[in-house]
Amino acid sequence: MASLLWGGDAGAAESERLNCHFSNLVHPRKNLRGIRSTTIPNIDGSLNMEENDEDDVVDLAANSLLNKLIRQSLVESSHRVEVLQKDPSSPLYSVKTFEELRLKEELLKGIYAMGFNRPSKIQEMALPMMLAHPPQNLIAQSQSGTGKTAAFVLAMLSRVNALELFPQCLCLAPTYELALQTGRVVERMGKFCVDVEVMYAIRGNRIPRGTEVTKQIVIGTPGTVLDWCFKRKLIDLTKIRVFVLDEADVMIDTQGFSDQSIRIQRALPSECQMLLFSATFEDSVWQFAERIIPDPNVIKLRKEELTLNNIRQYYVLCENRKDKYQALCNIYGGITIGQAIIFCQTRRNAKWLTVEMMQDGHQVSLLSGELTVEQRASIIQRFRDGKEKVLITTNVCARGIDVKQVTIVVNFDLPVNQSEEPDYETYLHRIGRTGRFGKKGLAFNMIEVDMLPLLMKIQDHFNSNIKQLNPEDMDEIEKLEY
Ligand SMILES: Nc1ncnc2c1ncn2[C@@H]1O[C@H](COP(=O)(O)OP(=O)(O)OP(=O)(O)O)[C@@H](O)[C@H]1O
């Protein structure tokens, strides 16, 4: 291991940590791409919040990491699986137990030590294909949290030869932090695999030219991996047996990563097993997947259809921001609220509303884009645990984050795009936070008069009925139920 370090400085300590043999990786407190870390707002009443009028942009990589940090267990998917097998006559049954996969004893021990009892839906379908002889290529899509990482980690750990001291499995992830998360799964699942080691090809882990890399599994970001393979010649791609492209949807969202991944893939031997995973499957992801994975089996979960059918939508006409706040208080006082998420368009509005509500004695928390991912994860966790009943947020929370007990969504500001037109997708995703899994939900839109035409467009677009509510009419408000 000493040969992999580059001196006795702080960097060496970092490198030592990154190259360790399944040691406990400490997650470095770093910010993700696109997340500004300047000031962290105090939401404890002592408000030194800097005024920042920026809209928060949705960062796919940050959302993906956030989901991993707050997820405690498998997301049970009830969606239909579609399987397109490369060779339909090949007898690749799905499996119901891990034993049926004839995994190495030490892997079964690792799986059970992680508390897994049986394969998830995606694992049930994908593992027989991934572990088949000869190895088969696979493109797999399944929503976030359904067990994809565990599936391909199992495939990598099944195929490594601990006695051969060179990289045999290569996994590309879109960010430093996501690579570390995958590495942790390799560590935990491979806990009983003696002499199997993982190495991180990520920025900051600088390895001297000519160093011999002896670890069998390399996880990294495309840029650094490319550098290690072609410039520094640390990895011999012709010896790679399993190539994994994780989070393909996030990957193609990042400038340059598709091309870099394709360059790496082109240098792999034809017998290398190629696996691609993605939580979503838009056309662009599909086109990329087909370019990079030759002759694949395909597993897809049908998309979750977000609908507005079981959500009752209302709007309240207001003169200004103060007026909107008053209406919100009336609604809040008039009905029993489980938990509510309130969306604002800008950070400035979100902060203003947080202060107002706190001064009125409400327990609220604020989630906006300048927080680190770890801070956001902890806020969402507290909200999930019911420690706060109201979460005020910008668009950072519109997608992907699942808090089941939310019964009310408030659009304190309507979502609009840069051309000042309604942002229908975001509306659907915001409102879709409530009324999930057949439960009923309520949505309120606080509308200043000039925004009314936009609300009407939203109503037409979704062909749904958004009813006007008089915020002074407490009788009517009290009759609302969900
Ligand atoms: N068969 C299983 N039984 C029980 N828990 C599981 C099983 N497979 C995975 N998990 C757990 O479920 C959670 C989600 O799994 P995993 O991270 O593999 O999902 P994912 O689909 O890769 O998510 P993402 O799209 O965010 O990458 C993790 O906490 C993991 O430990």
pLDDT at 230 over 50: yes
Whole-prediction pTM:
0.72
Q: Relative to the CA of 247, which ligand 1 atom is closest?
A: 27
Three-state secondary structure along 413-463? Answer: CCCECCCCCECHHHHHHHHCCCCHHHCCEEEEEEEEHHHHHHHHHHHHHHC
Q: Is the pLDDT of residue 8 over 50?
A: no
**Which has more pLDDT, 144 or 16?**
144
Least confident segment among 9-13, 87-91, 161-165, 258-262 = 9-13
According to DSSP, the β-strands at 390-393 and 406-411 are unpaired
Ligand 1: centre distance to CA 155 (Å): 14
How many angstroms does the Cα of residue 37 sit away from the middle of ligand 1? 29
Parallel/antiparallel/unpaired status of strands 311-318 and 466-468: parallel
Q: Which of 60, 63, 146 to mutate to test the pocket of ligand 1 (most atoms within 8 A of CB)?
A: 146
Ligand 1 atom with the shortest distance to the CA of 153: 18
| pLDDT at 48 (0 to 100) | 41
Locate the ligand 1 atom nearest the alpha carbon of residue 71 and give its number: 29
Q: List the residue whose alpha carbon is closest to atom 3 of ligand 1.
A: 116
Point out the ligand 1 atom lying closest to the alpha carbon of residue 122: 21
* CB of 145 closer than 6 angstroms to any ligand 1 atom: yes
| 430 CB within 6 A, ligand 1 | no
* The pLDDT value given to residue 352: 94
Of 67-71, 219-223, 351-355, the least confident = 67-71
CA dist 415 and 74 (Å) reads 31
Predicted ipTM? 0.97
State which of 75, 149, 275 you would mutate to test the pocket of ligand 1, scoring each by most atoms of that ligand within 8 A of its C-beta.
149
pLDDT tens, position by position, 326-342: 999 988 877 767 788 89
Cβ neighbour number for residue 100 with a 10 Å cutoff: 15
17 membership: H or E segment, kind and range = helix 10-18
The Cα–Cα gap between 73 and 114 comes to 11
Ligand 1 probe mutation, 81, 148, 245, most atoms within 8 A of CB: 148
Q: Cα-flanking dihedrals φ and ψ of residue 14, to 5°?
A: -60, -45
- 38-47, 81-90, 396-405, 455-464, range with greatest mean pLDDT: 455-464
* Test site for ligand 1: of 74, 95, 121, 178, most ligand atoms within 8 A of the Cβ: 74
68 alpha carbon – ligand 1 mean position (Å): 9
Secondary structure of residue 276 in the 3-state scheme? strand
**CB-ligand 1 contact for 291 (6 Å cutoff):** no
Task: Give the full edge-to-edge strand order of the sheet including 390-393.
Answer: 364-367, 390-393, 339-343, 406-411, 441-448, 311-318, 466-468
- Residue 211 phi/psi, 5-degree rounding, is -70, 145
Sorting pLDDT into bands at 50, 70 and 90, what band is 40? very low
> Which residue type occupies 347?
R
Residue nearest to atom 2 of ligand 1 (CA): 116
* Per-residue pLDDT reduced to its tens digit, 112-142: 999 998 888 889 889 999 999 888 999 998 8
* Ligand 1 centroid to residue 72 C-alpha, Å: 9
Residue 225 pLDDT > 60: yes
Atom nearest to 119 CA in ligand 1 = 1
Check residues 204 and 95 and name the one with the higher pLDDT.
204
pLDDT (mean) for 357-377:
86
Q: Is 181 in the pocket of ligand 1 (CB under 6 A)?
A: no
Ligand 1 contact via 116 beta carbon (within 6 Å): yes
Q: What is the pLDDT of residue 7?
A: 27
Q: Point out the least confidently predicted range of 53-57, 205-209, 281-285, 339-343.
A: 53-57
Helix, strand, or coil (residue 358): helix
Query: Does residue 149 have its Cβ closer than 6 Å to ligand 1?
Result: yes
Q: Which amino acid is at 257?
A: F
Would you say the CB of residue 68 lies under 6 angstroms from ligand 1?
yes
* 445-467 per-position pLDDT tens digit: 999 999 999 999 999 998 889 99
d(CA 177, CA 65): 7
**403 vs 429 pLDDT, higher one:** 429
* Amino acid 472: pLDDT: 83
150 Cα nearest atom in ligand 1: 18
Which of the residue ranges 207-216, 287-296, 301-310, 314-323 would you say has the lowest mean pLDDT? 301-310
| Ligand 1 near 123 CB (within 6 A) | yes
The whole-angstrom separation of Cα 430 and Cα 415 is 9
Ligand 1 pocket member 315 (CB < 6 A) = no
368 Cβ contact partners less than 8 Å away, ≥ 6 residues apart: 41, 56, 347, 350, 351, 393, 394, 396
Task: Kindly tell me if the per-residue pLDDT of 413 is higher than 90.
Answer: yes
Nearest CA to ligand 1 atom 8: 147
pLDDT at 237 over 70: yes
Residue type, 180: L
